[in-house]
Amino acid sequence: MSSGRIEKRKSQPSRNRDALLNEILRDGFEVMPCSYCFDHNLVCKMIERTKRCQTCVGLGRSCDGTGVPVGVLSRVTAEAKRLEREEIDEEEKFLELQKQINEVSARLIRLRKQRRSLREKGIQMVQRGLQNLDELEEMERKESEAAAQESSAVLEVQANGGFDVIDWSTVGLGGGQLLTGLDFAGGTAEASAGNASGSR
């Protein structure tokens, strides 16, 4: 009696699965790993006409792989890095141009102020009968020094107890003209003089 084992024939689905697995192993390309291959650190390979990788086909399980070739992702990543470098370069150029624009704008504002100042000084020269800008600047310097001295004197008087210190020249009464006709005891000097003569 023969003791040989009788080999069970594979079903058609099993033969189809084996054929597909062999085709993937022979012609497949590496793709981004599906969940199963990723979790088990396996190389994930597919072919164009199927949505399952070789591991999932061999295990007879479903596959959630995207079918995106690893090379495509590498190219996308490389292109993204290239665009990022270009973006940085263009941004640096933009910032440099912005800096130049700011510098030119500042010079333009300064030139406009100088032009307005020169025009105003020219009008003052004509009004004061001066011959050149040097004379005008010298006069303005003296006026500025005089104003500073006057301000210093006023502050000194106030510091020593003086009150109601007024610059009478600013109201057209320079040289103490207002005080000429005043008697600090009250009334005018003329009135005080009259009272004095009447009491004799």
The tokens describing 68, both together, are 């995106």
pLDDT tens-digit profile, the chain (200 residues): 445 555 566 677 778 888 888 888 888 888 889 999 999 999 999 888 888 999 999 898 899 988 888 778 778 888 899 999 999 999 999 999 999 999 999 999 999 998 888 888 777 777 777 767 777 677 777 777 777 777 777 677 667 665 555 555 554 545 444 444 444 444 444 444 444 445 44
Q: What is the four-CA torsion angle of 18, 23, 26, 30, rounded to 10 degrees?
A: -100
Q: What angle do the packed helices 70-128 and 133-159 form, to 10 degrees?
A: 90
The tokens describing 158, both together, are 């106030």
**What is the 3-state composition of the chain as percent helix, strand, coil, each rounded to the nearest 5?**
65, 5, 30
Of residues 66, 39, 38, the one with CA closest to residue 51: 66
pTM, entire model: 0.36
Q: What integer pLDDT is reported at residue 18 of this predicted model?
A: 83
**Alpha-carbon dihedral sign for residues 27, 29, 35, 39:** positive
Q: What integer pLDDT is reported at residue 6 of this predicted model?
A: 56
Chain segment 55-103, per-residue pLDDT in tens? 999 898 899 988 888 778 778 888 899 999 999 999 999 999 999 999 9
